[in-house]
Amino acid sequence: MKQKIINTVYYEDYKSFKQAILDFFENIDVWKEEMISFIGNQPHFNP
């Protein structure tokens, strides 16, 4: 998400930023394959 939303565009106001975040999650299926390749098939959590 950070690479697609936060680092690529300057948001003039909070409303635009918030909408970009919401749009990302509404269309999460579009990013599924890319996220799997970035994270891997099994996410690893540090305790």
Residue 7 backbone dihedrals phi, psi, to 5 degrees: -85, -5
Q: Which pLDDT does position 45 carry in this prediction?
A: 63
Task: Answer yes or no: is 47 within a domain.
Answer: no
Question: How many Cβ atoms from other residues are within 10 Å of residue 40's Cβ?
Answer: 9
Task: Answer yes or no: is 21 within a domain.
Answer: yes
pTM: 0.54
Q: Which pLDDT does position 17 carry in this prediction?
A: 87
Split into its structural domains, the chain has a count of 1
Task: Answer yes or no: is 46 within a domain.
Answer: no
* 2 vs 11, residue with greater confidence: 11
Task: Answer yes or no: is 44 within a domain.
Answer: no
Write out pLDDT tens, residues 14-47. Answer: 999 899 889 888 888 887 777 777 776 665 666 5
Report the Cα 28 to chain-centroid distance in Å: 8
Task: Answer yes or no: is 12 within a domain.
Answer: yes
Q: Which pLDDT does position 8 carry in this prediction?
A: 74
Range of the domain at 23: 2-39
Distance CA 42, CA 47 (A): 16
